[in-house]
Amino acid sequence: MKRLGKMVLGAALVAGAFGAVPATAATAAGGVSIMLDSYPLPFPVAPAVMNGTTMVPFRAISEALGIPVGWNQAAKQITATSTDSAGAVKKVVLTLGKAQASVNGASVKLAVAPQNISGTTMIPLSFFSQQFGAAVSWDQASKTVSITSPKKDLYTLGFYAQGAYGEVSLIPGFDAVAFGWSRIDRSGAFTTTGTEFRWPQPAGDVTPESIVRDSAAKGTAPYLMVYSGDKELELTKNMKDLALQQQTIDSIVGTATSKSFGGIALDLEGLGMTGDKALAQSEYNAFVKKLSASAKTAGLKLTVILHPLNSSYKGYDYKTLGTLADDLVIMAYDYNNETGPEPMNKVDEAIRLALQQTGKDKLLLGISVYNETDKTVNAKIGLAKRYGLKGIAIWRLGLIGTPTWNEMGQTVELQ
């Protein structure tokens, strides 16, 4: 990806912030909460205040920021190694009881030596922010430490559908874009015509084909998105009619290949709300297995877009689908029927449930910017970063807007 630069660190802010916390040697920081990207960060041991310095569990906060941590029992040392968005590596070594840290071999003085509290290594929060690029602020009234994670290079998928052309200029900012120009129709057959999710008409020199070509030429992988709901059992019909299903698979792969797409984004929704949920999963697994094999033969990638596991739709087997697809999108939205920003606890739960079924390197967190604002979108991206997911999937171009796009660029690398 192209680099847009680094985040400004919040070290100067931190230096004076924690003097406001009552200074009592080795006391619990009663009532102090820590927020990472606007969402609570749980700790095995509560933050503590030592000689006016707020101490936090090193491993918990490091791992939440994706920084690997190692422990040397004999030397009583904890080591963290990070790589920033520019590829620079930083190795930090801390020793229990020693007020000197090693940063890439150089000695750095600590305000308070690392301590072992209830089996957890605690370090000064201000030191952490300075060394690992996390901006930190303190709110005295609520006794809240707010941490903003550094910008990270995540895989980014954007969705493009009718009404998206106004933001066509944003396509190069994504690693991949899924063009929603096809669907399963009411008869259960694949089509690129109809009233929605249809192949667009040319507008002068601008054609759907030229948009796809331009995307690929500028480094954004174009995917053909195939949509279906199941309100009229059109998807169920396709799952049960094997001849129709094979025609659908052949048409999807044939269209993707002939129109120069690099992959397929499968967005077949509505399975498993009622009826035999295990059967729905089995049938869908069989469909995706056939499509995956055909796509692979044609040199196409496959992304499967799924309802979250804490939704009402239970027809999706993340564990099996994760073995068949290149990645899975968790549609962690519409919990509030599109009435506002998604509840963070529901999005968090959706991620944790998915991680019980498949690896983090397979998962993209779906975010609907229609429901979010420029003030809330980065909190969702922060959860993707916290859990080390492969990336994010943004629904959709045409709805993003400049304020939200700019905010996203503060936390994730956009091309």
Q: What is the pLDDT of residues 238-254, one digit of tens each?
A: 999 999 999 999 999 99
How far is Cα 270 from Cα 15, in angstroms, rounded to an integer? 52
Confidence at residue 30, expressed as pLDDT on a 0 to 100 scale: 59
What's the pLDDT tens digit per position in 323-358?
999 999 999 999 998 899 999 999 999 999 999 999
Using an 8 Å Cβ cutoff, are 318 and 350 in contact? no
- Distances in Å between the Cα of 348 and the Cα atoms of 149, 155, 284, 310, 342 are 17, 19, 26, 10, 10
DSSP structure class, residue 202: P
Q: Which amino acid makes up residue 126? A: S
pTM of the prediction?
Answer: 0.90
Q: Nearest Cα to 286, choosing from 242, 250, 253?
A: 242
How much is the pLDDT for 364? 99
- How many helices (DSSP H) and strands (DSSP E) are in the chain? 11, 23
Cα 279 off chain centre by:
30
d(CA 191, CA 186): 10
pLDDT greater than 60 at residue 25: no
- Residue-level pLDDT at 29: 53
Percent of the chain whose predicted confidence (pLDDT) is above 90: 74
- Do residues 101 and 94 make contact, with C-beta atoms less than 8 angstroms apart? yes
DSSP 8-state class, residue 55: E
The CA distance from 210 to 254, in Å, is 18
- Residue 332, classed as helix, strand or coil, is coil
**Contact at 8 Å (CB) between 196 and 247?**
no
Structural contact between residues 380 and 345, judged by C-beta atoms closer than 8 angstroms? no
- The two three-digit tokens of residue 199, written as one number: 């192949």
Is the distance from CB of 176 to CB of 263 less than 8 angstroms?
yes
Q: Residue 126, SS3?
A: helix
Q: Per-residue pLDDT for 13 more than 50?
A: no
pLDDT digit string, tens, across residues 273-307: 999 999 999 999 999 999 999 999 999 999 999 99
| Residue owning tokens 């599109």 | 338
Which region among 143-157, 272-286, 299-313, 379-393 has the lowest average model confidence (pLDDT)? 143-157
**Tokens 């792969």 correspond to what residue?**
253
- CA–CA dist 120, 256 (Å, integer): 53
Residue 396: is the preceding peptide bond cis (ω within 30°)?
yes
Instruction: Return phi, psi of residue 168, to 5°.
Output: -60, -25
Instruction: Please state the rounded mean pLDDT for residues 47-67.
Output: 86
Tell me the pLDDT of the chain averaged across its residues: 90
Judged by DSSP in three states, 152 sits in: strand
Helix axes 377-386, 402-411, angle to 10 degrees: 20
Tell me the backbone φ, ψ of residue 216, rounded to 5 degrees: -65, -40
Alpha helices in 19-64 (DSSP H): 58-64
> Listing from the earlier edge strand, what are the strands of the sheet with 33-36?
39-40, 33-36, 144-148, 135-139
Structure-token pair, residue 69: 């941590």
Q: In the predicted model, is pLDDT for residue 77 greater than 90?
A: yes
What is the Cα–Cα distance from 5 to 413, expressed in whole angstroms?
Answer: 8
Q: In this model, does residue 1 exceed pLDDT 70?
A: no
Lowest mean pLDDT among 133-137, 187-191, 345-349, 372-376: 133-137
Of the ranges 2-6, 154-158, 215-219, which one carries the lowest mean pLDDT score? 2-6
